[in-house]
Each structure stands twice: as structure tokens, then as C-alpha cells.
Amino acid sequence: MKPKLLLTRKIPEAAIERLRQHFELIVNPNDAPLSRAELIALVADVQAIICLLTDTIDTTVIDAAPHLKVISAYAVGYNNIDVKYATSKGIAVCNTAGVLTESTADLAWALIMATCRRITESEAFLRAGKFKAWEPMMMLGQDVYNKTLGILGMGRIGQAVAKRATGFGMRIIYYSSSPKELPFEAERVELDTLLREADILSLHAPLTPETKHLIGKAEIALMKPTATLINTARGAIVDEKALIAALADQRIFAAGFDVYEEEPHIPAALLALDNVVLLPHIGSASIATRTNMGFMAAENALAVIEGRKPLSQVNG
């Protein structure tokens, strides 16, 4: 008899087919997150869960799944999972570290270019019929070439973003808990220095109690008025209210976000701003990457069930 696995949301079909080869699948048939009651009801007999960041796998859910052996996150982040409690129950927690690095780095650069050069604002201007002639002062933005890129969190994705900056002749500085051996020139600095000197500040830290609101009113006040803030990491690293106030008062030039503090809720005041580019959490949204995430999540779950070492386990 195949072990039972709950897939909390549809993923690319190729990955689902691989799962069907090894598991009796319970698949959420709806294109929407499971309600808490639905999630608790569906985990009763499963040995494995593949979940999304939108699924809260806390003590109540874990206790409702007495046969559970593995929680496999279809994501790099796992702050939606009570890892400590899962560990105490002997449940492996896995993620898809490494699979989405390059796609997310590409998207961070899309946000860098879009914010600095006012791309989405310019397109909206044109589509609204406002482009009548070339003007010397129209849609002036910030250069990227030869500027200073600040990386907060020099992990896999932070390094991939920084590596791309070398092609733009940028000075690279970073803030990290420990120095990194890097294949390109970069200077490790204190957080205050990073904030003061970065023309573009790109966030790539995990969300922890220490990093929640790490970028708040005082930190934003240190940034250059010409600086741009990019967040493809976790929304709550930034105090959104403080950022909105700074953008509205033009104390920083622009911001580009793919993640939000209370996702999927986006504050109306943020939506109303012209100097911010807002994306619906699409950092890993390429066909190849999302499919490979599914393959890795499947392999992580199967490895634990079969007593093998998973590709990426966060609590073992």
C-alpha cells in the first residue's frame, strides 16, 4: 500500500505525476488555499505533506496528523511551519533550497531595473495616452551602472543577485552574520554602513524574530534620498508603514516588492504610490523552476518515507 501524501495546492502536472508513482495522493482540487478546518481534516491519515507558505503547519495541525513523518515545503522559506514542534515529534521538515535561486535573482534584477528606470510608471504613462513627444525632463530615473549595490543577507540568492551586478560595474557591499568566500569582489560592512552607502538595497535575509522589521523608520532614515529598496525575501523584514511614509515623502527614490508584510493583503496606501513596483510573489514563477521545486519537494518527502537522506532538510 502506498503512503498517503497531502498536496495542499496544485503544482505543475509533471511533478504531480511523479508523486502519483510513489504516493496515494490527496490533492486540493481548488485554486485557493485550504481553510484551516479543511487542512486539519485532511491530514488525519497522511504520512507526508507538501505545503506552501500560505499553509500554517502549527502544533494543532501536527497533532491532527498522528502518522506524519515529513513536512516538505514547496518553498525555500519555512517560517509557516513550527519546526521546533515538528522536530520534537520526530517529523522531518524539508524545503526546496537552491532550486529557485537563479529565478529569484532574475526577478530581483527585474525589480531593480523597473524601479530605478521607472519602467512600469513610464508604461502606464504611455498607455494612458500622455506621451505626446520626447521631453528632456520626462520620467527621469536613477542609473544602475557603476552604482553601489547593498545586499542584506549574502546567502544563495543574495550571491546570485550580487554576481549579476558585476556586469553592471557595480561596487558590492553586504551585511551578513558571517563573512563569505565569494567569487567576486564584495565588502562586508555593518548594517548602518550598508544603509548609508547603498544606491540599491536588496533584501535576501530569512524571516526570523531578529529580522522582523529589521528595516524600519530609523533604518530607512539612513538611506540616500536617491536610493531604491528591493524586497524579494520576506515581507515582514520591512516595516511597511515606515516604508510607505518614506516613499510618500520621497525620502527614498523608489521601492520594488514581490513579498508583503501581511500577504496577500497590500495596504491601499502602498497601492496608491507611483514610486513603487508591486508584484504578486512571482520570484520563482518560471515554468522550469516551479516544476523543479515540485520534483525536489516530492523527492524530499519520498526520501524520508523510505529512510533515505532528503535533498534539503532544515531540522536534521
- Spatial distance between the Cα atoms of 58 and 303, rounded to a whole number of angstroms: 23
The H-or-E segment that residue 255 falls in is strand 254-257
The H-or-E segment that residue 101 falls in is helix 101-116
Backbone angles phi, psi at 139, to 5 degrees: 50, 45
Q: Which residues are catalytic?
A: 234, 263, 281
- Spatial distance between the Cα atoms of 256 and 111, rounded to a whole number of angstroms: 5
- Chain-centroid distance of CA 271 in Å reads 20
Q: What is the pTM assigned to this prediction?
A: 0.90
Who contacts 141 (Cβ-Cβ below 8 Å, separation ≥6)? 116, 117, 118
Dihedral of the CA atoms 285, 289, 291, 294 (nearest 10)? Answer: -100
- DSSP tag of 206: P
- Spatial distance between the Cα atoms of 310 and 306, rounded to a whole number of angstroms: 10
Domains of the chain: 4-99+287-305 (3.40.50.720), 101-278 (3.40.50.720)
pLDDT profile of the chain (316 residues), mean per 10: 94 91 92 93 97 96 98 94 97 95 97 98 97 97 98 97 98 96 97 98 95 98 98 97 98 98 95 97 95 95 96 93
